Amino acid sequence: MKSVLILFVVTLALSNVFGQKDPHFADGRNTIVHLFEWHWDDIANECENFLGPKGYAGVQVSPPNENAVIGNRPWWERYQPVSYALTTRSGDENSFANMVQRCNNAGVRIYVDAVFNQMSATSGGGTAGNSADVENLQFPAVPFGPGDFHSRCDVNNYQDPNNIRNCWLDGLPDLDQGSEYVRGKIIEYLNHLVDLGVTGFRIDAAKHMWPADLQAIYGSVKDVSVGGRTILLSRSH
């Protein structure tokens, strides 16, 4: 079974099911930095000019997938996916892939903030020019439709696992990861990132998804190869 590194999983998430093991740093390196909201080109330059030469091991980056464009562009719009297209205000797919390659060449691994518990609660256009229709639960660029989400209810009882994992967090349409189709789209997105050279993931809102569904997703993510060697990402326990 394939397995996936879960890096910096949200506090309290799946504490007795999944865990971080080997972060797969390049030899002799340690310490990950979080360059939240940086442009991909700037991260690449930072890897080559500072992080690599100083012995840093990795960078956690903001979610790279398309998100809703909201008002005065708050940071949290990055957590409202419109599609899994790799275009955001940090750059497009070409600049993201270039950044990953340049950082890997500098000995600095890239860890992606992966958002797949939910889709956007805001209708309208996204950062890649695609659209979201929240009222009708239509996200055509994936595509996701009404049958791909849990029924509307609000997360309001953290003592109730069903409420935490089946309801909508802060009004965000809650994807049904129990659906083979939904899992397939998520796995496709994660595997594309692995193909581009990403080493691992932080899973956003992990405690709001069922452990068995997450295990099915993690178990289908490809192993990755960086620095000339194949890496088996740490398995669940």
CATH number of the domain bearing residue 108:
3.20.20.80
pLDDT of 208 > 80? The answer is yes
Q: Looking at residue 231, what is its pLDDT?
A: 54
Question: Does residue 13 lie in a domain region?
Answer: no
Q: Rounded to two decimals, what is the model's pTM?
A: 0.87
Residue 115 lies in a domain: yes
User: Token pair for residue 162?
Assistant: 């069903």
- What is the chain's mean pLDDT, rounded? 89
Q: What is the pLDDT of residue 224?
A: 78
Is 25 inside a domain boundary? no
Q: Is 78 among the domain residues?
A: yes
What does the alpha-carbon distance between residue 120 and residue 80 come to, in Å, rounded to a whole number? Answer: 4
State how many domains the chain has.
Answer: 1
Please report the pLDDT score of residue 227 as a whole number: 58
Query: Which tokens belong to 88?
Result: 């955001």
Average of per-residue pLDDT across 88-97: 98
Answer with the residue of higher pLDDT: 156 or 227. Answer: 156
Residue 236 falls within a domain, yes or no?
no
**25-47 residue pLDDT tens:** 889 999 999 999 999 999 999 99
For residues 202 and 4, the answer to whether their CB atoms sit within 8 Å is no
State what percent of residues in the chain have pLDDT above 70. 86
Whether the CB-CB separation of 63 and 88 falls below 8 Å is answered with yes
Residue 15: its pLDDT value, please? 34
Q: What are phi and psi of 185, to 5 degrees?
A: -65, -40
Average pLDDT over residues 171-191: 98
> Domain for residue 85, yes or no?
yes
Range of the domain at 184: 30-231
Which pLDDT score is estimated for 225? 73
The answer to whether position 193 is within a domain reads: yes
**Is 117 domain-assigned?**
yes
Location of structure tokens 């990950």: 32
